[in-house]
Amino acid sequence: MQKLMSDSQYNQIMELNIEPFEKVTLLNSLELELTKKKPRNNKALPYWKVCNFCNNIYVVTTRVQAVRNKSCSIDCARKLISVANSKKKPIEQLKASIDVQCVVCGKTVRRYIKKLSKVNQTMCSHSCNGKMRSLELKKHAYKARSCWSDAANEAFKQRMKGETNPSWKGGVTYIRKKGNYKGSKYVRCPEQFLPMARKDGYIAEHRLLIATQLNRLLDSTEVVHHINSDSLDNRIENLMLFKSNSDHRRYESGQNIIPLWQSTT
């Protein structure tokens, strides 16, 4: 990169009694003003940098040097590497280990000194670690339900029933939505229609309504259709019953299929 500032401008900044990085800031700002245009990205700057070893100010010529270079010369770069290596601990010191006793069973185990500085207590195995953790858990054992009185258990059961339950949704549950499908509404199934229900005793509301209208159990092959395609709109006048899913699909495709049942209202 060719220097755009004059020698007098450069000397004037260099003679200032300020830190090297402050001089570099002034030099870069002056170069940017002389170019009369903004750089494409900040990787083109700084044009001037401070050597991390000798603190001398030097100029870079490429964007790669502006990002990567940390020293003004190869000699300074070598000295920086040697200083960095001198701060590293030797491998013998990193792998130094001593014999310590397990605080639970008293067994002697060998541990790295470096790792011992990160723990307060030494255990020989996962089993001993679990025993040590159990001592802490015992402090909170009184909070468990096994220590509750009969009155407390009964009060908890009453709070979890019906509308007092935090998860109460009006006595219904909804299956997860998928794509454009809005899901289905499930309600607690009456005893006479339990063969149609799920294992948890809930049944799709639209199937229960049709079964109640026909006063019989629906076959597993029979399909309930929503006229307005809203699976949550379970008004009786919005429901139709088809013999099979095949008939249901053909009806939706526009074929003249007569349903098994449809509300006359």
Q: Which of 56, 87, 118 is the last residue of a domain?
A: 87
pLDDT tens profile 174-197: 887 676 677 889 999 999 999 999
Q: Which of 52, 87, 122 is the last residue of a domain?
A: 87
CA–CA gap between residue 9 and residue 124 (Å, rounded): 70
Per the structure, the count of domains in the chain is 3
**Which residue, among 28, 21, 36, 40, has the nearest Cα to 3 in the 3D structure?**
28
Q: Is residue 142 part of a domain?
A: no
Residue 189: count of CB within 10 angstroms of its CB: 21
Are residues 176 and 253 part of one domain?
yes
pLDDT at 119 over 90: no
List Cβ<8 Å contacts ≥24 apart for 125-131.
Answer: 128/102, 128/103, 128/104, 131/104
Are residues 82 and 100 part of one domain?
no
Q: Is residue 159 part of a domain?
A: no
Give the pLDDT score at 9: 86
Terminal C-alpha separation, the chain: 88
DSSP H helical ranges for 117-258: 126-137, 150-159, 205-214, 245-252
* Residues linked to residue 173 through DSSP beta bridges, in sequence order: 186
**What's the token pair of residue 249?**
């699909």
CA 255, chain centre distance (Å): 48
Give the pLDDT score at 205: 94
What does the DSSP 8-state code read for residue 202? E
Are residues 177 and 248 part of one domain?
yes
What separation in angstroms does the CA of 214 have from each of 12, 14, 83? 101, 99, 90
Are residues 192 and 253 part of one domain?
yes
Are residues 248 and 177 part of one domain?
yes
Phi first, then psi, for residue 173 (nearest 5°) are: -140, 155
Q: Is residue 56 part of a domain?
A: yes
Give the mean pLDDT of the chain. 86
pLDDT tens profile 46-83: 678 899 889 898 888 787 888 888 888 899 998 888 88
Q: Range of 16's domain? A: 7-87
pLDDT at 37 over 60: no
CA-derived radius of gyration, the chain: 40
Q: Which residue has the tokens 């020989």?
A: 124
Give the pLDDT score at 25: 86
Are residues 21 and 97 part of one domain?
no
pLDDT at 221 over 90: yes
Q: Is residue 51 part of a domain?
A: yes
Q: Which residues contact 73 (CB under 8 A, 6 or more apart)?
A: 51
Q: Is residue 204 part of a domain?
A: yes
Give the pLDDT score at 36: 65
